[in-house]
Amino acid sequence: MKKVLKIVPLLLWIGVSSVLFASCHRLSSDGRHVEQTLHRQQTEVLSYIETLRPLLESGKSDSLLQISQTHKDVVLFVYDEQSLVFWSDNRLVANNIYRIHYDDWWFGRFDNAIGIGRWTKIGRYSVCTIIPVKFVYSRYSEQLPNNFIPPFAADNRWLIRRQRANEGCYAVTDIDGKYVFSLVPPELEQDEPLQQQPAESFSFGSLFASPQKGLSRYNVLVGSILMACLIFLAAFMYTLIRSRGLKNIKIYKRVMYLVVALVLGTFVCLFYMTAKYVRTHYEERQRALQQEKAQYIQAFLQNLYYWDMNLSELNSRRLNADLRDMSYTYKTDILVYDLNGRLIGSSVPQLTESGLIARMIAAEPFFSDNATCLRYEQIGTIRYLTAYTLFYNGSMLPLGYIAVPSYISSAEVEKEMTDYIELFLPLYAILLALAFVATMLVTRYFTRNLRHMADTMRHFRLGQDNYIRYDSRDELGDLISQYNEMVKQLEESTTKLAQSERESAWRTMARQIAHEINNSLTPMKLSVQQLQRIKDTEYFNERFDRASRLLLEQFDDLGRIATTFSDFAKMPDIHPSETDIAEKLFSAITLMRMHDATIPIRYVGQEKGVMAYADAEQVTHAFTNIIKNALQALYGREKSDVIVMLKDADQQAMLRWQLPATYRWIEISISDNGPGIEESIQSKIFMPNFTTKSTGMGLGLAITKNIVDGSEGYIRFETSHKGTTFYIYFKKL
C-alpha cells in the first residue's frame, strides 16, 4: 500500500507534464504556422504595393477598386495628405488609424481585429496596408467568435499580445525578422472579458441572438429522406451479400431494386431542386423587397430633407431620430453616409459606437459608377444583404448615400422550404409506395413463368410432361416456344438414343453372357469328353468323381450368372422420398461389420435423425455396394480400415463438385487406405459390366450410381496410391 501511495504522485506529475508538453507543442506548431502565413501575406503586400505605385504616381486611381478586389485578405487605405481618398473594404473596423514611420511593419489593434500594418509613401499619397490576423470583438455573442481570420489558422484559444513573449509563449516576427506580437496561452494571461449588450435592431439582432437549439422541421425532413436512402442501401447490400454477387440476384429483385432506386433518386433530385428553387426564390423576393424598401426610404427622406443642401454633424442628431422612427415603420435598419463616405446617421448608433460597424461606407457603391446596388456583407459569422442608393434632396441634388441592411434568416428559409415541400411530401410518399408495390407485383407476374420454366427444367425427367404452357406472343413466349421445341427434339433424340443404347447394351450383355457361359461350358465339355474316352476302363470311377465335382461347380457359376443378370434386369424404378439417411447408412455399416469382421469399419456421424431426399428401399443397397468394394480392396493388406462419415456439405465441397447452391446437401464419404484406382480405368468405374476383379459381373457401382442419380443426388470419388474416397450427396430436408 505504501508503494502505491508513493507511485500515485509520480503518475500525477507525469500526467500533468504530458498535458503541459502537448499544450506547449501545440502552441509552438500553431505559432510557426501563423508566422509562415504572415510572411507569405507580407510578401504579397509588398507585391501589391508595387502594383499600386505606377497607378498612384500617374494619378490613375480609377483602377484601385478592381485591383483591391483581387487582394481580399488585405485591407487598403489611401490618403492624399490628410484626406482619405480610397479604402478597399469596410469589414475591418479601423475608425482611427495613426500614421507612424514608413516602410516598416507595425502591430495594430483595431475596433474588431488585430493585425499587422505598413505605411508606404507613393508620391503625394500615403498608403496603409493592413493584414487582419484575429478578431477581437468587445461584445459577447456566439455569432461574434474571436477566431483567427483566414488564411491564418490556429487554436482560437491563443491570445495575441504586443508585449514580447515570456516563457510558455511564442514570439512571432515579421518578414524582416523583427518581433511583432506573441501568441499567449489563455491560462497565462486572460483576455479582456467580453460584454453582452443586446442591440435593438431589425437587421443585426441576430448578432446577439442565441442560436436555435434542437432539430428544425427541415432537418427532420432531410434526416428522414437520408434515413430512407440508407435503409434502401442497407437492404440492397444485404441482398447483394446474401446472393454472393449481383449476377446471383433474382431478376424480379433486380428490377424491383432498380425501379425503387430510380423513384427514390427522382424523389431526392426533386427534393434538392425544390429546396434550391425555394431558397433562390425566397432570396430573390428578399432582394426585391430590400430594393423596394430602399426606394421607399429614399423617397421618404427626400421629402423629409427637401430643402437641405448637405448633411453634416449639425443635423446628425435629427437624422438619427428620423431614421429610428423610419426603422420601426419599414421594419429594417437604416444607415446614411455623407458624400465623403462617412457615416452621418444610423438607426442603430450603438453598433458603430461599439466598433461592430465601420464608419466608412462599403467601397463598391462609393467608388464604382453604380451607387445603387445590392451586395452581401458580413459581421462575424452573420451574412446579411445591404441595399445601397443615393440620398437626394428636393432638387435631386445628392446629399449622401442610404444603406438598408437586412439579415436573411436561415431558419426562415428552412421554414419556407419545409412548408413548400410538406405540401408534396405525402404525394411523393404515396408514389414511392405505389412504385414499390407495383414493381414487386409486375416483376413477380413477368418472372412467374420464368420461375415455372426454371422449376420445370430443374425437375426435368424424360418420359414426363416437360412442356410449358404460355399463350402470349411476347419475348418470353418466344423463349418458351423455343424451349418446348427443344424438349420435343430432345425426346425424339432420347428415344432414338435409348433404342440404340438398349441394342448396344444387349449386344454387350449378350457377348458378356456368352463369354461367361463359354467359360463354364468349356471345362464341362472337356470333362464329358474325357469321361467318354475312359468309359469301361479302370480309371472311370476315379475320373468320374473329379469330373462330377467340376461339373457341379460350373453349374453353380452358371446359376450365379443367371441370378446376377436377373437381378439387374428386375431392378425397380427409383422413387425418392423423405428418408432418414443416417439410419440407412448405419444399418448398412452394421450389416457389413457382421459379414466381415477382419477389417474395422469406423463411423463418424449421427446414427439417425438426418432427413434427406432418397429412395428408402434401395439406398442401403448403394451403401453396401461401396463398402463391400472398399473391403475387397483391402484384403490381404496390413493396418487396413474403412472410414465412413456423414455431415452437412460445406461451401468448399459444393464449389469443388459444382453442386447447385439452391439446396442444402448431406455429404457421405466412404474412405479406404487401399492401393487406389488406376488412372487408366477411372473413367470406366461406373460403367456396367466393367470390373477389375476375377469374379463378379461389374454391376455393383453401376447400380449404385443409378440409385443415387435417381434420387437427384451426386456420386463422386477421389483416389490416389494412399486410398480411395467415394462421396455421395443427397438433398437435405
Give the 3-state secondary structure of residue 74. Answer: coil
Q: What is the pLDDT of residue 38?
A: 93
Mean pLDDT of the region 106-112: 89
For residues 48 and 449, the model is more confident at: 48
Q: What is the pLDDT of residue 242?
A: 80
Alpha-carbon gap, residue 684 to 198, rounded angstroms: 99
- CATH homologous superfamily of 260-414: PAS domain (3.30.450.20)
DSSP tag of 360: B
Closest-CA residue to 670 (of 571, 613, 602): 602
Q: What is the pLDDT of residue 134?
A: 92
DSSP string covering 97-152, please?
-----SSSEEEEE-SSEEEEEEEEEETTEEEEEEEEEEE--SB--TTS--PBPTT-
Closest-CA residue to 191 (of 262, 135, 254, 239): 135
pTM of full prediction above 0.75: no
Alpha-carbon gap, residue 601 to 626, rounded angstroms: 12
**Long-range Cβ contacts of 475-478 (<8 Å, 24+ apart):** 476/446, 476/449, 476/450
Alpha-carbon gap, residue 35 to 152, rounded angstroms: 9
Mean pLDDT of the region 269-298: 84
Stretch (H or E) spanning 260: helix 251-304
Task: Please determine, for residue 39, whether its predicted confidence score (pLDDT) is greater than 90.
Answer: yes
210 in Cβ contact with 413 (< 8 Å): no
Beta partners for residue 648, in sequence order: 666
For cell 493592413, the residue is 130
For cell 507569405, the residue is 40
What value does the CA radius of gyration of the chain take, rounded to a whole number of Å?
A: 50
309 in Cβ contact with 393 (< 8 Å): yes
Closest-CA residue to 403 (of 358, 442, 444, 439): 358
**Among 313-317, 433-437, 538-542, which stretch is predicted with the lowest mean pLDDT?**
538-542
Of 3.30.450.40, 3.40.50.1580, 3.40.50.10420, 3.30.565.10, which CATH number belongs to 572-732? 3.30.565.10
Compute the 3-state secondary structure of the chain and give helix, strand, coil in percent, each to the nearest 5: 50, 20, 30
pLDDT, tens digit, 9 for 90 and up, residues 322-350: 888 898 888 889 999 999 889 999 888 88
| Percent of the chain surpassing pLDDT 90 | 15
Q: What is the pLDDT of residue 505?
A: 58
Look at strands 642-648 and 601-604 and give their pairing.
parallel
Alpha-carbon gap, residue 486 to 258, rounded angstroms: 33
Q: Could you check whether 260-414 and 572-732 share the same CATH topology?
A: no
Q: What is the pLDDT of residue 5?
A: 47
108 in Cβ contact with 114 (< 8 Å): yes
Beta partners for residue 77, in sequence order: 87, 128
Where do the domains of the chain lie?
19-195, 260-414, 478-568, 572-732
**Among 97-101, 341-345, 514-518, which stretch is predicted with the lowest mean pLDDT?**
514-518
Give the 3-state secondary structure of residue 348. Answer: coil
| Percent of the chain surpassing pLDDT 70 | 78
Beta partners for residue 148, in sequence order: 134
Alpha-carbon gap, residue 222 to 261, rounded angstroms: 18
Q: What is the pLDDT of residue 698?
A: 59
Sign of CA dihedral 88, 90, 93, 99: positive
Give the pLDDT band (50/70/90) at residue 692.
low
Look at strands 75-80 and 723-732 and give their pairing.
unpaired
Alpha-carbon gap, residue 322 to 391, rounded angstroms: 14
Alpha-carbon gap, residue 727 to 441, rounded angstroms: 43
Q: Grid coordinates in use for 637?
A: 493388406
Q: How far is CA 394 from CA 298, 306, 310, 413, in A?
A: 11, 4, 12, 39
Task: Please determine, for residue 357, whether its predicted confidence score (pLDDT) is greater than 60.
Answer: yes
Alpha-carbon gap, residue 37 to 43, rounded angstroms: 10
Alpha-carbon gap, residue 602 to 673, rounded angstroms: 13
Q: What is the pLDDT of residue 670?
A: 92
pLDDT, tens digit, 9 for 90 and up, residues 594-617: 766 678 889 999 988 899 999 887
Sign of CA dihedral 608, 613, 618, 621: negative
Residues 6 or more apart whose Cβ sits within 8 Å of residue 496: none
Q: Grid coordinates in use for 665?
A: 446437401
For residues 58 and 647, the model is more confident at: 647
Give the pLDDT band (50/70/90) at residue 16.
very low
Strand order in the sheet with 105-109: 83-87, 75-80, 125-135, 113-122, 105-109
Range 448-482 burial, b when 16+ CB lie within 10 A, else e: ebeeebeebeeeeeeeeebebebeeeeeeeeebee
